[in-house]
Structure 1
Amino acid sequence: MTHVMPPSAFKRWRGRLAVLAAVAVAGSAVTVTAILAAPSDPPPALLSKGKAATASSVEGEHWAARNAVDGDTTSRWSSAFQDPQWIQVDLGSESAISKVVLNWERAFAKDFTIQTSKDGSSWGTVATVKDGKGGVETVDVSASGRYVKLNATKRSSQYGVSLWEFEVYGKAGASNGTTPPPAQTGTSTSSAGTTAVSPTTTTVGTSTSSSAAGTSTSAPGTSTGGVALPPQKPIPPNAVHVAEFVAECGFSHRLPDDPIVFPKLAGASHLHTFFGNTSTDAQSTNDSLMVADTKCNPVEDKSAYWTPTLLVDGQPVDPPTSTFYYLGEGVQDEVTKKIQPIPAGLRMIAGNAKATSSDDNTSKSRWDCNGASVTPGKDFVSCPAGARLQSYLDFPQCWDGKNLDSPDHKSHMSYPVHPGVCPATHPVPIPKIRQVVNYPVSGVDASRIKLSSGPGYTYHIDFMNGWPEVEMGRRVRDCINRIVKCGHNGNP
């Protein structure tokens, strides 16, 4: 009797036969998976946000470790300016960890490891990165632990390492069964909760001083922010109690360059007169300044200073030198005693190159005559024979505590507000830089004088900090905070 298979059954049989044939061809080792796909695993959770974070060091109270796990990409952790450095986060319980995302500020680590620990004491390395590129880096890992540490072994620049965010992803309260390898030689074994610098430590370069002028609790070998300062010398009996140190910087060269406003664009600016660092041009960076020569006294000052070129009848006039006073004035004495060192890499512009009238230039600048009594103003004056044209300009001295520069190159800085304190938006007081320059221009009518940027009220000055941290820190500690007048060598 012939049995006829219904069409629907035949289709089912044919499909099963095809599967069996595929298995036979592949061999007996094939495992047939379920036809229905299992539900996909949920994405890893952000485990580190708002958790307790500690670090090997902090640059100052504004750059605490907790800033790197607060979920705010406008606050950051920043370390001392030396290798190695680390930051770690306590996830609260042992967790399965699948990736770490590092959102670097410009100061990033080129070489680093990711380490985990169950107890915050014994650490194992679960990822190693060489020649990192900064930006936002994602490091995939397969590990378990309660504590996760970034151990930065090589900086990308002269500064420390700095993170906007340190994010750890995975599954809380779980383990993926992976045991980290034993800790490597030289890896940090600091326990959770310890830091090399107290969260209340002031910005890098200062040392602990009492509030009374002339006294100090500094000792040889002490440091703040990881920068060791030399022992503090006593104040001599004949010291002048004015908060000041000074740099005398000779004329270096002229170029139509501006590495702050037009970086990497040679010839894009009006003509500038450069003082101090002899290498300054459109390509200059803070790193390049630190290895170049200087025409400053003291020679430790590698800073770049530049102004628009002064022209008489259209011809450049180069002053032989320019004096830069670093002052504690402009704020109350109690604020002066708390002034912080100018941070490495800070860039500033004072004045307004685009001013169309004296009212447009709100900086503390003026023109007068050295050796004659004239009414100072923001435009040129006619100096009689025997008197030299002279300019004054004060930089702002209140820093926002976060940014070494800003899009307009000014908004990260502010002048003090009444009664001599820094505004809440710019809470960090730094020394006020005052430029005083005497031009070899005498007996010349003011109508014959111009700047490469325009009238006298367009006068401005740019600054890229090139002071070594130890020298800046020592001078602020010994001269500014103690309200003592120091010479070129930084001593009373």
Structure 2
Amino acid sequence: MRSSFGLRSRPRAHPRPPTLPRLRTPARRRLAGLLAAVLTAAAVLTGTVVQAQAADTPISQGRPVTASSLENAAYPAGLAVDGNGGTRWSSSAADNQWIQVDLGANASINRIVLDWEAAYASAYQVQVSATGTSWVTVRVVAGATGGRQTLDLSATGRYVRVLATTRATAWGVSLWEFQVFGALGTQTVPPGAVRVAEFLADCPYSHRLPDDPIVFPGLPGASHMHSFFGNNATNGNSNLGSLETAGGTCNPVADISSYWVPTLYADNVPVEPTGTTFYYLGEGVRDDVIANTQPFPRGLRIVAGNAKSTGPDDNTISRWSCLWAGQVNPSHDFVNCPAGTMLESYLDFPQCWNGKDLDSADHKSHMAYPVGGACPATHPVPVPKLRQVLRYPVTGDPSRLRLASGPGYTMHGDFFNVWPAAEMERRVRDCINPIVKCGADGRP
């Protein structure tokens, strides 16, 4: 967004702080262009082959643009998308200033480029919208240092907005250029595809240990007994580095993430599930939020459920039911499953991320559940909803059953993301965003 209205020779309404770095001036930009032309001519004269490169034109260039404020009439929002690196938009001297561009139609957005003037944002959010009124945050940036910044995205929308939540200087924020790259038009849904935003991983039981590398990192034996699925190496000392060098039990084999739950006991004998499916879903939020769901970052840790529940109403996220037994109502505590069925555990993980932290002190605060079909402002980045479905080969009197953490309503689950980034990104792009049901291979 090169938004600076007039040339640098135009005086500002207030003096520039002496400590601010001086960025490229229009004169320097013109000089750079002239130098490039001279070098190209010299190459031709000397017989050097110069390979031409097609211009990558932003789909935002020249499009209608609005902003929350202007420093003054010399620096309007339109100068951030005019393709001229010597003009700029500049806001009033306040935080939470924004600039947004209307692409004219729904678009698949793969990156944006922000070219900040000396007055830049140290923290900001990139948001998209189908309507220009309801926004989805697709990137949160903190600790920015200004200059030219390129952000790769996988987003869909007609409107793109940069919300500068914290300014780095006493002035407002100012952009030489705000460029959006991608392709106009909606994503293509494969013929015959089932319109459910889903991909999955089947991850059989791996091993059992009294360890929890999220809640008790570096303390083997400090936890109640857990049953682990997926990554074969998970223990009390596990971290991203150790997990990503190990194998696992999952289909697809690309998923070497670690999943674990408190061990189930029947008559004080441990029982492991024979069905272990982890669904990655887009449900529970509006379609425009699904279209802009972002991949889990590598190393993200999430805990769902309440291991310290004192009653069924303390843990409304976890539920128990019976496979093929419609007459048994689901419950937050164990249920009595008739012979010929199986005891099932369902657990939904939160799907709204704060965009910054891979974990938090309580292992939950960096994540949140959606509200009203969207992610709350405190946790603006939508990620897939992880649904854990475990099927245990037990039936009958539930008084025989207990978890290592206590009664059935203490059920909880832990997730440590070790998906290869490219595999996770492909599945979110091809399955979640276009609302397509995919299998374990990540294909419809």
Q: TM-score higher than 0.5 here?
A: yes
State the alpha-carbon separation in 2 of the partners of residues 48 and 430 from structure 1: 37
> Residue 275 of structure 1 contacts residue 321 of structure 1 at CA under 8 Å; is this kept in 2?
no
Whether 1:241 aligns to 2:192 is: no
* 1:475 match: secondary structure: helix
For residues 382 and 410 of structure 1, what CA distance do their matches in structure 2 show? Answer: 31
Tell me the amino acid that sits aligned with residue 433 of structure 1: L
Amino acid at match of 2:390: V
Residue among 367, 378, 392 paired with 1:439: 392
Q: Which residue of 2 aligns with 1:477?
A: 429
Equivalence for 1:344: 298
2:355 to 376, 401, 406: 401
SS in 1 for 2:149: coil
Q: Which residue of 2 aligns with 1:268?
A: 222
**Distance (whole Å) between structure 2 residues aligned to residue 371 and residue 380 of structure 1:** 16
Task: Please state how far the C-alpha of 1:291 moved relative to its aligned partner.
Answer: 1.1
**Structure 1, residues 419-453: CA drift from partner, whole Å, max 9, x if none?**
x11111111110000011110112x3100000000
**1:368 aligned partner:** 321
Letter in 2 for 1:406: S
Paired residue for 2:413? 461
> Partner of 1:252: helix, strand, or coil?
strand
Please report the TM-score for the alignment, with normalisation by the length of structure 2: 0.61
Q: Distance in 1 between matches of 2:271 and 2:294?
A: 36
SS at match of 2:204: strand
* Cα deviations by residue, 1:6-58 (Å, 9 ceiling, x for unpaired): xxxxxxxxxxxxxxxxxxxxxxxxxxxxxxxxxxxxxxx99469x989xxxxx
Amino acid at match of 1:275: F
- Pick from 262, 266, 280 the counterpart of residue 234 of structure 2: 280
Tell me how large the CA RMSD over aligned residues is.
3.0
Q: Show structure 2 runs of 5+ residues with no match.
A: 1-16, 25-94, 96-114, 120-140, 159-185
SS in 2 for 1:242: coil
CA distance in 2, matches of 1:164, 1:427: 18
1:289-438 aligned at under 5 Å gives the runs 289-363=243-317, 365-372=318-325, 373-418=327-372, 420-438=373-391
Alignment of 1:6-17 (within 5 A): none
What displacement does 1:359 show?
Answer: 1.6
- Once residues 46 and 468 of structure 1 are traced to their aligned partners in structure 2, the CA distance between those partners, rounded to angstroms, is 46
| Counterpart code for 1:320 | T
- Give 1:368 deviation, angstroms: 0.7
Q: Does structure 1 retain, via aligned residues, the 8 Å contact 2:259–2:414?
A: yes
Equivalents in 2 of 1:467, 1:398: separation in Å?
Answer: 18
C-alpha distance in 2, partners of 1:210/1:482? Answer: 12
Trace 1:35-434 onto structure 2 (pairs within 5 A): 47=19, 164=143, 193-197=147-151, 201-202=152-153, 206=154, 209=156, 235-363=189-317, 365-372=318-325, 373-418=327-372, 420-434=373-387
Per-residue deviation, residues 92-150 of structure 1 (Å, max 9, x unmatched)? 9xxxxxxxxxxxxxxxxxxxxxxxxxxxxxxxxxxxxxxxxxxxxxxxxxxxxxxxxxx
How many Å separate the matches in 1 of 2:412 and 2:322? Answer: 18
Per the TM alignment, residue 320 of structure 1 is displaced from its structure 2 partner at its CA by: 2.8
Aligned residues: 293
Give the residue type in structure 2 aligned to 1:468: P
Map 1:10-25 to 2 at 5 A.
Answer: none
The share of aligned pairs that are identical, in percent, is 58
SS of corresponding position for 1:281: coil
Q: Which residue of 2 aligns with 1:105?
A: none
Instruction: Specify the SS of the correspondent of 1:297.
Output: coil
Distance 1:480 1:52, change over 3 A: farther
Q: Determine which structure has more spread, i.e. the larger CA radius of gyration.
A: 1
Deviation at 1:236, TM superposition (A): 3.0
SS in 2 for 1:426: coil
- Deviation of 1:305 (Å): 0.2
Comparing 245-254 with 312-321, greater Cα deviation is found at 312-321
